[in-house]
Amino acid sequence: MASVFLSHSREDAAKAEALAAALEGRGHSVWWDRRLEGGSRFSQEIEQALKSSDVVLVCWSHSSVHSGWVQDEAAEGRDTGRLVPVIIDDSKPPLGFRQYQAIDLSPRKGLGKSDAIDSVHRAILAKAGSAQPVGVAPKTRRARDYFRIGIAGATLLVIAAAALIYWFSRPADRGKAEALRLQIGEMEVLTSNVPQAVPETLREEILAALATDAVIVTSNEAPREGSEPGYALRASIRKTGEKLRFTVHVTNERTGGTVWTDTLDRPASISGIAPRQVAVAVSQVLRCGLGGVARYRKPMPDETLSVYMNFCQEYWADTAGNDVNQSRAVDLARRVTEAAPDFSRGWSALAEVATWGGSGNKLQDPKSLHDEAVKAAGRALDLDEQNSEAYQALAGLQPPFAFAEREKLHRKSISVRPSDCGCEYVGFGSFLNRVGRNSEAADAYGRAHDMIPLSAEVNTRWAEGLFLAGRPNESRKIVRDVMEIWPTYSFLREILLRNALWTKQYDEAAKLLDDKYAPLNEAERESLRLAVQALKSGSAGAKAGAIKALQEAGLSGSENASLLVTALGALGGDREALSLAARLIQQEGPRELTALFDPSLSRARRLPQFAQIAQRLGLANYWRASRHLPDFCKEASPPSICATL
- For residue 144, what pLDDT is reported? 34
Whether residue 527 is predicted with pLDDT greater than 70 in this model: the reply is yes
Give the lowest-confidence range in 44-58, 145-159, 512-526. 145-159
Question: Which helix or strand (DSSP H or E) is residue 216 part of?
Answer: strand 216-219
Looking at per-residue pLDDT, the higher value among 300 and 46 belongs to 300
3-state SS string over 512-563?
HHCCCCCCCCHHHHHHHHHHHHHHHHCCHHHHHHHHHHHHHHHHCCCCCHHH
Whether residue 41 is predicted with pLDDT greater than 50 in this model: the reply is no
Domain boundary among 169, 203, 218: 169
CA distance 209 to 454: 7
Instruction: Let me know whether 211 and 159 are in one domain.
Output: no
Q: Decide if 481 is inside a domain.
A: no
Instruction: Let me know whether 139 and 235 are in one domain.
Output: no
Burial class (CB in 10 A: 0-12, 13-18, 19+), 416: buried
Looking at per-residue pLDDT, the higher value among 378 and 144 belongs to 378
Region 118-134 average pLDDT:
72
Per-residue confidence band for 418, with pLDDT thresholds at 50, 70 and 90: confident
Region 154-164 average pLDDT:
50
% of the chain residues with pLDDT over 70: 87
Asked if 384 and 174 count as a contact pair (C-beta separation under 8 A), the reply is: yes
- For residue 310, what pLDDT is reported? 97
Instruction: Let me know whether 109 and 185 are in one domain.
Output: no
Region 243-271 average pLDDT:
95
Q: Decide if 570 is inside a domain.
A: no
Buried residues in 516-546 as b, exposed as e (16+ CB within 10 A)? eebbbeebbeebbbbbbbbbeeeeeebbebb
CA distance 282 to 59: 31
Asked if 242 and 219 count as a contact pair (C-beta separation under 8 A), the reply is: no
Looking at per-residue pLDDT, the higher value among 642 and 493 belongs to 642
Q: For the packed helices 274-294 and 472-485, what is the interaxial angle rounded to 10 degrees?
A: 100
Find the DSSP H helices in 452-514.
456-468, 472-485, 490-502, 506-513
Whether residue 227 is predicted with pLDDT greater than 70 in this model: the reply is no
Cα 350–Cα 355–Cα 360 angle in degrees, nearest 5: 105
Question: Which helix or strand (DSSP H or E) is residue 188 part of?
Answer: strand 180-189
Instruction: Let me know whether 149 and 251 are in one domain.
Output: no
Per-residue confidence band for 445, with pLDDT thresholds at 50, 70 and 90: very high
Region 596-608 average pLDDT:
95
Q: Decide if 457 is inside a domain.
A: no
Asked if 595 and 562 count as a contact pair (C-beta separation under 8 A), the reply is: yes
Asked if 472 and 499 count as a contact pair (C-beta separation under 8 A), the reply is: yes
Domain boundary among 116, 151, 169: 169
CA distance 614 to 624: 11
- For residue 241, what pLDDT is reported? 92
Instruction: Let me know whether 103 and 199 are in one domain.
Output: no
Contacts of 26 (CB under 8 A, 6+ apart): 1, 117, 121, 153, 157
Give the lowest-confidence range in 69-78, 441-450, 635-644. 69-78
Per-residue confidence band for 145, with pLDDT thresholds at 50, 70 and 90: very low
Instruction: Let me know whether 133 and 220 are in one domain.
Output: no
Q: Smallest Cα–Cα separation from 14: which of 63, 49, 47, 51? A: 63
Beta-bridged to residue 112, according to DSSP, are none
Instruction: Let me know whether 186 and 237 are in one domain.
Output: yes
Q: Decide if 318 is inside a domain.
A: yes
CA distance 184 to 219: 6
**In this structure, what CATH number is given to the domain that contains residue 21?**
3.40.50.10140
Instruction: Let me know whether 185 and 100 are in one domain.
Output: no
% of the chain residues with pLDDT over 90: 55
Q: Smallest Cα–Cα separation from 594: which of 573, 617, 575, 571? A: 617
Whether the model clears a pTM of 0.85, i.e. scores above it, the answer is no
Q: How many helices (H) and strands (E) does the chain have?
A: 25, 10
Looking at per-residue pLDDT, the higher value among 429 and 358 belongs to 429
Q: Decide if 590 is inside a domain.
A: no
Looking at per-residue pLDDT, the higher value among 425 and 143 belongs to 425
Q: Decide if 145 is inside a domain.
A: yes
Domain boundary among 324, 342, 365: 324
- For residue 38, what pLDDT is reported? 39
- For residue 489, what pLDDT is reported? 82
Per-residue confidence band for 178, with pLDDT thresholds at 50, 70 and 90: low
- The tens digit of pLDDT for each residue in 127-144 reads 887 444 333 333 333 333
- For residue 65, what pLDDT is reported? 86
Looking at per-residue pLDDT, the higher value among 367 and 640 belongs to 640
- For residue 233, what pLDDT is reported? 96
Counted residue by residue, the chain has a size of 645
Strands 258-267 and 243-252: antiparallel
- For residue 226, what pLDDT is reported? 58
Per-residue confidence band for 166, with pLDDT thresholds at 50, 70 and 90: very low
Q: Decide if 610 is inside a domain.
A: no
- For residue 332, what pLDDT is reported? 96
- The tens digit of pLDDT for each residue in 73-86 reads 888 888 888 999 99
**In this structure, what CATH number is given to the domain that contains residue 234?**
3.40.50
Whether residue 225 is predicted with pLDDT greater than 70 in this model: the reply is no
- For residue 497, what pLDDT is reported? 92
Give the lowest-confidence range in 331-340, 403-412, 485-494, 567-576. 485-494
Instruction: Let me know whether 182 and 165 are in one domain.
Output: no
Q: Smallest Cα–Cα separation from 294: which of 282, 281, 308? A: 308
Contacts of 281 (CB under 8 A, 6+ apart): 264, 316, 319, 320, 321
- The tens digit of pLDDT for each residue in 401-413 reads 999 999 999 999 9
CB atoms closer than 10 angstroms to residue 453? 17
- For residue 391, what pLDDT is reported? 96
CA 586 to chain centre: 29
- For residue 108, what pLDDT is reported? 63
Instruction: Let me know whether 263 and 153 are in one domain.
Output: no
Task: Please give the mean pLDDT across all residues of the chain.
Answer: 85
Q: Decide if 188 is inside a domain.
A: yes
- For residue 224, what pLDDT is reported? 67
Find the DSSP H helices in 295-325.
302-315
Per-residue confidence band for 195, with pLDDT thresholds at 50, 70 and 90: very high
- For residue 131, what pLDDT is reported? 41
Give the lowest-confidence range in 201-215, 331-345, 538-552. 201-215
Give the lowest-confidence range in 48-57, 361-370, 383-392. 361-370
Whether residue 319 is predicted with pLDDT greater than 90 in this model: the reply is no
CA distance 515 to 531: 17
SS3 237: strand
Whether residue 551 is predicted with pLDDT greater than 80 in this model: the reply is yes
Whether residue 263 is predicted with pLDDT greater than 70 in this model: the reply is yes
Q: Which domain holds residue 36?
A: 3-169
Instruction: Let me know whether 141 and 52 are in one domain.
Output: yes
Looking at the structure of the chain, the number of domains it has is 2
Give the lowest-confidence range in 63-67, 337-341, 591-595, 620-624. 63-67
Instruction: Let me know whether 165 and 180 are in one domain.
Output: no
